[in-house]
Amino acid sequence: MTEGFAELRLDGVSRSFGGHEALADLTLTIRRGEFIALLGPSGCGKSTALNCLAGLLPLTRGGIWLDDRRLDTLPPERRGFGMVFQNYALFPHMSVRGNVAFGLQMRHLSRAEVRRRTDEAIRLVRLEEHAAKLPGQLSGGQQQRVAIARAVVLEPSLVLMDEPLSNLDAKLRLEMRTEIRRLHQSLGLTTVYVTHDQEEALSLADRLVLLRDGRTQQVGTPEELHGRPANWHVADFMGYRNLLRLRAATVTGAEAGVEGDGLRLTGTPVGVIQPGDPVVAAVRPEDVRIAEGAGVPATVEVVEYHGREVAVEARTAEGVRLYLRDAAATRPAPGDKVQFTVDPARLLVFPAST
């Protein structure tokens, strides 16, 4: 329907429900073939954004453009998008084949064409033996494959995925993640993928959009969001588990000294910080190191075994709780006295106000 477009443009897309803004001013340009992940905690507006894009929810402000064709005034069935739903939403009264063929039949394609493309899509998701079964007879992973086949069989200009892996168990989730990646690479379909799992988003997407309270916090590549969060909310969501509320002492170009609660650390400022400002210093557990001799003293409280590594929760004398990782071989135990250090390049210092 929309072969060969160049870009999809979201221009100030907003949706409010009786005064409450669930999504505010989402502006984003998606290039053809790109894999975009909308990321954020539950209630952040990511599903609202997806439904607005799909046309299942009318906008209350803004517009959606495919090159210079306006899409947001069209009903969902005329936008030519495909969608994979969280609980799959397979038609329970139709076989796998019927589900996949449905969209093609809606386009009044010839019987032979419908058959050919349906078979192809079923082969793509490796469900040939199950083509005649009803959705109720399939496992969760198989249902998921049907849902994906149904969405991609139309070769849509955009595929929308609404937390498609959240109902699967851990092992299957990893498998399907690879499967989605493989499909995206082989078909080159432009994809918008909604998830609350940062690991999933980082591993799948070309670019990520992080939302919080309906507002865009940061748009960027996985590397950018992982290594350079724009504010401490983003850092919090991206796995910076240690968020220390401190005060800036010294700021010298690329380094900021922060202190408070008996701690005195050096980090990298992100944004404008003046000495004396309240700040949030963020660091990932894996960037906190246990060091012999030097560093901040703390007492080990909880140790979780994670295979090669252990996750350690420790507490300083002033009661600051810290999360860190250590090699399992060192076998720290609750009650142990340890000392830790933080690499200044890995400790990000954000203004506390944002």
Partner 1 sequence: MRPRRSIVARPAAWLVWGLVAFFFVNLAGVIGSVVVSSFGTRWFDTWLPEGWTADWYSAAWDEFDLLHVLLVTVEVSALVVGISVLIGVPAAYVLARRSFLGRRVLYLLFLLPILMPPITYGIPLATVLYKYGFAGHLSGVVLANLVPSVPFVILTMTPFIEQIDPAIERAARMCGARTRHVFLRILAPLLVPGILAASILVLVRTVGMFELTFLTAGPDSQTLVVALYYSMSAAGIRAQQSVDAMAVIYTSMMLVLVVVALRFVNPTQLVARVKEDVD
Partner 2 sequence: MRHSTALRHRLAERGIDRQLLLLVPAAAFVVLLFVYPFLYGVGLSFQPERGGPFSAYREFFADAYQRDTILTTLRLALPAALLNVVASVPIAYRMRGRFRGKRLLTTLLVVPVTLGTVLTAQGLLNFLGPTGWFNRILPGDPVRLTNNYWGVFFSLVITGFPFAFLLVLSYLSGIDPTLERAAATLGAGSWQRFRRITLPLLAPGLATTFCLTFVLAFSVFPSAVLVGDPAGSTRVISIAAYEEAYVRYDYPMAATIAVIMGAVELLVIAAVLGWRSLLYTGSTAGGKG
Rank residues 13 and 57 by Cβ distance to partner 1 and give the closer one: 57
Cα 162 to chain center, whole Å? 11
Residue 93 or 306: which CB sits closer to partner 1? 93
Which of partner 1, partner 2, none does 73 bind, CB closer than 5 to 8 A by kind?
partner 2
Measured from the Cβ of residue 296, the count of other Cβ atoms closer than 10 Å reads 21
Q: Which is nearer to partner 1, 22 or 270 (CB)?
A: 22
Q: Which does 111 bind (CB under 5 to 8 A by kind): partner 1, partner 2, none?
A: none
Q: Which lies closer to partner 1 via its Cβ, residue 30 or residue 290?
A: 30
Q: Closest Cα to residue 97, out of 27, 45, 146?
A: 146
CB of 317 to partner 2, least distance (A): 42
> Between 23 and 147, whose beta carbon lies closer to partner 1?
147
Find which of partner 1, partner 2, none residue 56 binds, CB within 5 to 8 Å per kind. Answer: partner 1
Binding site for partner 1 (CB under 8 A): 54-56, 75-78, 80-83, 85-87, 89-93, 102-103, 106-107, 147, 150-151, 154, 160
**H helical segments located in the chain:** 46-54, 96-106, 111-124, 140-152, 170-187, 198-204, 222-227, 232-237
User: How many CB atoms are located within 10 Å of the residue 146 CB?
Assistant: 27
Cα–Cα distance, 62 to 213 (Å, whole number): 18
Query: In the bound complex, what is the minimum distance in angstroms from residue 72's beta carbon to partner 2?
Result: 8
Q: Contact positions toward partner 2, by CB under 8 A?
A: 16-18, 57-61, 63, 73
Among partner 2, partner 1, none, partner that 60 touches (CB below 5 to 8 angstroms by kind): partner 2
Structure tokens at 334: 């609750």
Which of the 8 DSSP states describes residue 168?
S
CA distance 230 to 207: 15
- In one-letter notation, the amino acid at residue 81 is F
Rounded least distance, CB 76 to partner 1, Å: 4
Binding-site partner at residue 151 among partner 2, partner 1, none, CB < 5 to 8 Å by type: partner 1
Gap between the Cα atoms of 77 and 305, Å rounded: 50
